Structures are given as structure tokens and as C-alpha cells.
Structure 1
Amino acid sequence: MTRIQILNAAFPDPTLKPRIERRLTRFLRRLLVGKKKLDAQPEVDDAANDDLEEDAPNKADLSWSQRQCIVRRTDRIVSCANRKSPLTRLKPEDRKRLEVLRHGVELVALPSQHRADEIAAALHAEMPWLAPATNRIWHDLLQSVQRGEPGCHVMPLLLDGAPGIGKSYLARLLADLIGVPGLTLEATVENASFGLVGSQRGWGNAAPGRMINLILAELVGNPVIFVDEIEKAGRADSTKGQCFSLTDALLPLLEPTSAANWSCPYYEIGLDMRWISWILASNDWRSLPPPLLSRCPPIRLERPTVQHLKGFARHQGARRGLSEASIEAICEALDRAATRGHVPDMRSVIRMLDRAERMERRPPLH
């Protein structure tokens, strides 16, 4: 894995103050004892020698007032230097929270094109009815490896289709196969953009968003973030007439050039968010704004057939270690539902698998 700097701001140098104090102390002693005597001694690296020959007999002792003058001047110099870093304007607890990014974050990359083929094959084997989406993911992963990028990622996707066809499951499975953290955001229950990107400090409940919290917790810069039912996202209007919508907040994150220096509303610093794999889902793309559609052209997905669902049940049943009898019982239930004119969705199949697994794992009754 490759480590990159995701924070577009320099951390204050903790060694700056002692280094400046040593330099000022040395300069003042040169003035007091004469530069000629000190020049006769070998030069010493200021940063490597903390004491700087404190006990040398040919150096004059500094008075208390002289030492205090050095401390005050050092504080002014350090204060001027730290003003260049936006981190110094943060609260101590927020600055401590971002301290984990001092040494950057890791990017997970695929070792070869063969691994990209394996991931695409695994996605298609689980959900062949989502072939338009899995093919696009396959091409993006291959291109990421061919370019030699430090981390693999998928260009923003907008999956449009009926609910319960496996869009969220596809995103979770993709994150597991790549080996990166995943985040699922339900747009219907989020308060505008605040849940994902955070809120500005002017709001009473200001806090960083779930996207930033995920990266701070996992220290991985290319997670897979899934936003479900994006067309139903809410919005918030401030008393000053400002509008905060989820779709507007996503626009700079979906564009690689602007995502490379995305400004966090809460921390008010620039972050490199271009390696995130965004997967959006909608039930009807026609209600989405044109700027979002220009960045994510919708990929229309069809409902799975009964044969698709039976294949998914067999594949998942074998992975969970279910008995052949339980798997066949689920397939028979799907056939009976189809004869009655009702084709269950993928969520129903997962519930059947969960119930069968609980029944097989329950302790025997005596």
C-alpha cells in the first residue's frame, strides 16, 4: 500500500521553538564573548545538539532578563510562522483529532490486472443482472492498474433501478473484494448535506461529516461510499438564505480536480478526496439536477428474474454453509411466488437466507 498526504495543510513544527531559542542564544553569546573565540571551536549542528555547549568555560552566562528576551522573541517568531498553517486556528481538540493525518493515509491498490478480473468475475457471479454496472467497475479497475495509480478507485457511478435489486449489496461487496472500508448513507434519513460532509461552525450542532470520520478512523484514503436514493435527499435553508443540499455538496467531490483540494466545512481546511469511489443509487434519475447527471450519467439496471434470484440463493447459501435442503427450500419458495405472479426482490431472498441460517444454527432442543 502507498501512503500519501491527504491534508493540504502543514502541521506546526514542534521542534521550531527550541531550534529558534538555540540559535538566538548562540547569537547573543557570540555578541557577549566575541565571535573570534567561538569560531575557533568546531561547528555543531543546532538541531542535533540541544545543549549547545552550555558548560563551555569561554561562554558568557546569560542573565535572567536576557533569557526572557530570547523567549519573548522566540514566541513572536513561532507565532508568525504558525499563522501560515490553518490548523493553528482550530480548537485544541479538533487539532488533536487531525493529528492522525500527520503521516498521511494509506491507499489500497490492486497488485495486477488479474486481480481486477477476479473482482469483476466475483461481482458478476453474485449478481449477473447488474452486468452494466459490474462491467463499468471492471473497466475502471483495469484502467487504475494500467495507469500505475497509487490506489485503485472507481469513477463516480449512478445506478438507477427499482429498489431491492442489489445496488447497496454491490457497493458493500466491492469494498470487501478490494479490501477498503465502506460507508452506506441513506439519503432519505440524512439532514441535507450535514451527515456526509459535515456542517459549518456557525450551526449550533456543527460537527464533521461521516466521510471525514471514516477516513480518520480507518486511515485509508480510497474507501467506497454508497449513497442510496439520492433523488430523495433533503435540504436545509438557513436564516441567511443559504441552501445546503446533498446533491450540491456532492458536486465538488465527484469532480477529480476539485476533489483534490476539497474544503471541509467543519475543519475549514483542504483535503485530497479524489481517491474515493462514489456509488450513487436512485429509483428515478429524472428528478436529479443536471449538474449531478453530467458527472454521473445514469446506468439503468433491470430487476432480477427468478432464475437470477435462485442462483444468488445457491451462491450465498453455499458461502454461508447452509445445507442443500435449506437452499432448495428457498428456491422452491421463489418458484411458488413466481407462479402466483409475484417475483420477490433481493432483500426478500437475503431475509430467507438469514432465517434459514438462524434455524440451522439454533441449539438442539432436549
Structure 2
Amino acid sequence: MSRFPFVKASFPDPALTPRKIRTHLIDVQQRLRDRRAAIHPPQDDTDRADPAEELRLTERAHRRADTRAKRLHDDILRRSGLSHPNRDEREKLSVLRDGVGLVRIASEDRADELAAVLHAEMPWMAPATGHAWQAMRRSVREGWPGFRLPPVILDGPPGIGKTRWARRLGGLIGAASMVIDAMGESASFGVTGCQRGWGSARPGRVLELIMTDLTGNPIVVIDELDKAGSARSNRDQSYGLAEGLLPLLEPATAADWTCPYYRLGFDMSFVGWILLTNSLQPLPEPLLGRCTVLRLQAVDLSDLIGFAEREGRARALSDSSIASITEALAAVAPGAATRPSLRTGLRMLDRAADLEHRPMVI
């Protein structure tokens, strides 16, 4: 895994505190005073300074050292880019001192293998798998330091496994992943974080994931984006999730994105964004223009039966349980108003597993 300079800041020596700078300044002043005293020693008692005056001079020297030490420390932080975060926040950010790792695809052949596995497991998600496949091959072909998934919108009916597919992609390539429910977040706060002035200022979950996992190209899934609302700050400013995502979806602006909480620049250009919707109508045009839009169809009954068989074997279910599930799915009339979805199949698999593992009643 290659290393990647993620934060737009340098980290000075943590031991270089205002107190340590002050001590150094006092030591230098004392050595200079001792040197002057050695060169020009007092000739008699009349040349000696009054002890009270010497004390006052020492107090003034200490006050000047305090002021200068704070000014020097502030200047060090300003030049490093870390003047806005407080001491505790700088300590948290210090994990980024040596950069973060980037998950890489070893070769184009490996990209082909990963895409084949993903397609075999969820063939009805072929458009999405094709998008990820080409991104994997491009990352290798163009010599990128890590895998980069261009932002994509997966638009399709509920219950077809969009979230499951995104999680599986992250698992196959070895990248960290997270799912954010757009309806359960306060506007874009869960994604981008929120600055001071809002009710609960904090960094975004995506940045927290990167700082925890120390991987700069996680797969981030935004579920139900078309149902996201907006929130208002304590100053009555409105902020929506779709608008907050815009600078993160454009490579040029994502490479120098400023966190509203830390007020620091971060390179978010390798984050893989997968946005899930059931309808494109509520989404603003600028967001649509920054993403590849893939329209997905409902799961065919044959694909659903095949999925149930594969998943049943992966869960070590008995042949009779798997047969019961596939027979129940196959019995659905072709023209039925309500057709089973992937969620239906997963519930049936869960129920079968529960029945097989229930305790014996004596």
C-alpha cells in the first residue's frame, strides 16, 4: 500500500511548546547576562546593582520571554497550517503526519478477476460492475498511486442490492467502506462535518473514517440521496447534502478540500463516492453533471433464484432449505403485481438459517 500526503499541513515537533521556547529564551538571556558580567565585573560595591532592581529586571525578562515564546509558537503553527485547530485537535490530526495509505489494484488482470467475482455474485448489477471494472483497469493503466472510483449514481428501484453491491466492492478490493443514510443525517453534516456556529460542531464521518483507518481511498455510499433534506444553522443558514457534496465530487476541488471543522485542507480526490437513489428528479443539475449516472433495473426472478442458491450454500444451509426457498421464489406468477426483491430473498435465507439453528425442545 503506497503512502499519500493527505493533509495540507506540516507537523512541527510536538515537544516544541510555548513553555519550552520560553525556557530556551530565558536560558539564552541568562547566558548573555553572565557573559557581560564576566567581561565587566563590578569594581566596588557602588557598581553593584540593587538586588530589588535585579529582581525587577528578571521579572520583566520573564514577561518578555513569555510574550515572545507565544508569538514564536503562533508563528510556527501559522506557517505549518495548524493555527486553527486547538491543542487536542492537533494531537488527533498528528496521525496524518506520515500520510495515509492508498489501496491499489495490482494489475489489469487482477482487475478482471475482481470484476468477474462481483459480476458472478450479482449479475443484475452489471452496469455498476462495469463502471468499477473500467476504473480499476484505468487506475493501473495510468499509473495512479491508488485505486480511484469516479463518482457514480446508481439509480434504480429499492430492494435490488445497491448497498450490498457497494459494500462487496469495498471488501473485494480491500478498501474501507461506510454507508451514510441521507435521511438520517443532518444535511451534509454527517459527510462534510460542520463548523463552529452550528448546534453540534464536529468533523465529518468520512474524514473520521480516513483518520481511523489511515486509508485515503475508502468507498463511501450515500443511501437515499434523493430523499435528503437540508438543515439550518443557529444563524438561520440553510445547507443541503447535495450542495455539500459538490466540491468533493470534482477532482480538482476535492484535491484541496477544506474541512469546515478543522479549517484545514485535505486531499479527498481518491475517495470513491457511490450515490444511491430511487429517483433522479430531486437532484440538482450540478450534482448530476459531476457523476456517471447508471440506471438499474429490478432483479429478474432467475437472477434472484440463482442468488438464493449461491448465498444459501455460502451460509452452509441444507439442500432442503435451499430447495424450499428457490421453489417458493419460482412459484411467483410472472404477471404478479408484487414481485419478490433481493430483500425478500435475504429474509427467506435468514429465516431458514434461524430454523436450522434453533435449539431442540425436549
Question: In the alignment, is residue 14 of structure 1 matched against residue 9 of structure 2?
Answer: no
2:341 paired residue number? 345
Distance in 2 separating the partners of 1:267 and 1:158: 29
Partner of 1:141: 136
- Who is 2:180 aligned against? 185
Measure the CA separation in 1 of the matches of 2:14 and 2:86.
Answer: 17
Change (3 A) 1:206 1:65: closer
Aligned to 1:358: 354
Q: Read off the aligned partner of 2:72 and give its amino acid letter.
A: I
C-alpha distance 243-321 of structure 1, shift in aligned 2 (>3 A)? same
Measured in 2, the distance between the counterparts of 1:199 and 1:302 equals 36
CA drift of 1:284 comes to 1.2
Aligned pair 1:235/2:256, yes or no?
no
Task: Give the secondary structure class of the aligned counterpart of 2:215.
Answer: coil
Are the aligned partners of 1:155 and 1:278 in contact in 2 as well (CA < 8 Å)? yes
Q: Distance in 2 between matches of 1:361 and 1:217?
A: 36
State whether residues 198 and 234 of structure 2, in contact with CA within 8 Å, keep that contact through their aligned partners in structure 1. no
- The aligned amino acid for 2:73 is V
* Equivalent residue in structure 2 for 1:93, among 84, 88, 96: 88
Does 1:289 pair with 2:292? no
What is the distance in 2 between the residues matched to 1:148 and 1:27?
A: 55
Question: 1:27: Cα distance to partner?
Answer: 9.4
User: What is the aligned partner in structure 2 of residue 51 from structure 1?
Assistant: none
- Name structure 1 gaps, 5 residues minimum: 35-62
| Conserved 8 A contact 2:157-2:297 | yes
Q: Which amino acid aligns with 2:274?
A: I
Q: Equivalents in 2 of 1:67, 1:264: separation in Å?
A: 40
RMSD, aligned CA: 2.6
Classify 1:120/1:90 alpha carbon distance in 2 versus 1 (closer, same or farther; 3 Å). Answer: same
In structure 1, C-alpha distance between the alignment counterparts of 2:241 and 2:188, rounded to whole Å: 4
Deviation string 1:14-60 (CA, Å, 9 cap, x unpaired) is 355668976996798589659xxxxxxxxxxxxxxxxxxxxxxxxxx
Contact 1:196 1:209 in 2 (8 A): yes
> Secondary structure in 2 aligned to 1:185?
strand
SS of match in other structure, 1:286: coil
Q: Which residue of 2 aligns with 1:82?
A: 77
User: Matches of residues 214-363 of structure 1 in structure 2 within 5 Å?
Assistant: 214-238=209-233, 240=235, 242-338=237-333, 341=336, 342-363=338-359
Give distance in 1, aligned partners of 2:77 and 2:300: 62
What is the CA–CA distance in structure 2 between the aligned matches of 1:99 and 1:363, rounded to whole Å?
A: 51
Q: Confirm or deny: 8 A CA contact 1:326 1:356 kept in the other structure.
A: yes
Partner Cα separation in structure 1 for residue 25 and residue 140 of structure 2: 49
In structure 2, the partner of 1:42 is none
Q: Is the 8 A contact 1:164 1:346 kept in 2?
A: yes
Deviations along 1:252-297, whole A, 9 cap, x unmatched?
1011110111111111111111111110111111321110110113
Q: Using the alignment, how far apart are the partners of 1:316 and 1:291 within structure 2? A: 39
Amino acid at match of 2:360: P
Deviations 1:80-123 (A, max 9, x none): 22233443332333222222222222111122222211111111
Deviation at 1:153, TM superposition (A): 2.2
Q: 1:66 to 1:240 in 2, by over 3 A?
A: closer
Q: Residue in 2 aligned with 1:50?
A: none
Unaligned runs of 5+ in 2: 37-56
1:238-260 CA distance string (max 9 Å, x none): 46553200000110101111011
Contact persistence 1:100–1:216 (CA under 8 A): yes
SS in 2 for 1:338: coil
CA distance in structure 1 between the aligned counterparts of 2:176 and 2:277, rounded to whole angstroms: 22
SS of 2:83's equivalent in the other structure is: helix
User: 8 Å contact 2:192–2:204 — kept in the other structure?
Assistant: yes
CA–CA separation in structure 2 for the residues paired with 1:279 and 1:137 = 10
Identity score, percent: 44
- Structure 2 residue identity aligned to 1:157: V
Q: Which residue of 2 aligns with 1:154?
A: 149
Q: Which residue of 2 aligns with 1:210?
A: 205
Q: Distance in 2 between matches of 1:297 and 1:265?
A: 27
Match of 2:126 in 1: 131
Matched length: 338
Query: What SS does structure 2 have at the residue aligned with 1:284?
Result: coil
Deviations 1:189-212 (A, max 9, x none): 222111211111101221222112
What is the rounded CA distance, in whole Å, between the counterparts of 1:118 and 1:293 in structure 2? 30
